[in-house]
Amino acid sequence: MPKMVLTVPPELDGRRVDRFLADMLPQRSRTIWQREVKAHQVKVRYHTAKSGDLVHTGDQVEVEWEDTPAVGPDLDAVTEIDSSLIVYQDDAIIVVNKPRDLVVHPSRGHWEDSVVHRLHPLLGNDGSHFRPGVVHRLDQNTTGLLVLARNESARSKLSQAIADRQVHRRYLAVVHGQITPLTGRIDAPIGRDTKNRLKMATVLSGKQAMTRYRTIALTSGYSLVQLSLDTGRTHQIRVHLSAIGHAVAGDVVYGGGHPQGLLGGQALHAGQLAFSHPETGQPLCFTAPLPWDWKELGFLSWQVVQESVFEEEEDLLYPCQKWATTDLLKTWAGYCGGP
């Protein structure tokens, strides 16, 4: 029976215990965690948790769960591996460059194809139903880097590292207009949209959320922005940028519309991922080129604002390759990592 002890970080203070577990361990759904709470498999501050209990900063949450049979896709029947997704792999982890229009794990409406499907023979059976190895996610139409765990030890350590903000994810986005100031942060709580429950929105009753941004290049009507997250709310970047009037280009859900030449979805890309290896402690950093369907936007007349695509704060701790903005713009209109 798998067991784990998690420490509640400040940004999850006051969260219901089932929501806390779903945020910390996204390889299992909130519904499954609710079931484990009711089955007395969860303890908070060494006492058995009850439905509706809240967790607070510094609390120790101990959880055990039963491995139950999966109902849905037979992942064990998957034998082929899509090696084109793999950026790096070893015995403990796989780093993936996810393409557009691909979900991370099987879910309703996506039983036939996902990152998990395509790499399942390389992922351990950790009893997490349809999410083996998953420690964080990207939206279906967001491209770029994520890390998967190949065994329970790596998954546990990566989950804790994410909770402790020791996994650094930096994104690139083309947004409408010019953000003022050019560098700053968006600090606004996020919750369900009261008018459309399928969307998220900035709402006073929502969860704390903070996004940092740097404008790295400008062109008529658009900005190329680098973003990083202090929290990890659903659709956080898209919601925050939409809330300040600078929606991600191509994001039809949150008001971005489709600029001419952009194909398939929003221009949001997880371009850099840095963390310490869960088994060896070795600092790692990966960078993914822009997706091919951004290519036409590269022909626009861009003006450089920042010399470096990514800020160099994490570069001091991790071996991140320096990416000059001028180099990005020179190659953007040509080969952009696509076919």
Catalytic residues: 139
* Strand order through the sheet with 42-44: 3-7, 60-64, 42-44, 47-48
**Residue 109: which residues within 8 A CB-CB, separation 6 or more?**
none
- Alpha-carbon distance of 329 to 198, in angstroms, equals 36
- DSSP character string of 24-75: H-TTS-HHHHHHHHHTT-EEETTEE--TT-B--TT-EEEEE-------S--G
Reduced to 3 states (helix: H, G, I; strand: E, B; else coil), residue 136 is coil
CA end-to-end span of the chain: 44
**Residue 305: which residues within 8 A CB-CB, separation 6 or more?**
182, 215, 216, 217, 218, 325
For tokens 């759904």, the residue is 29
Identify which of 216, 253, 217 has the alpha carbon closest to the alpha carbon of residue 237.
253
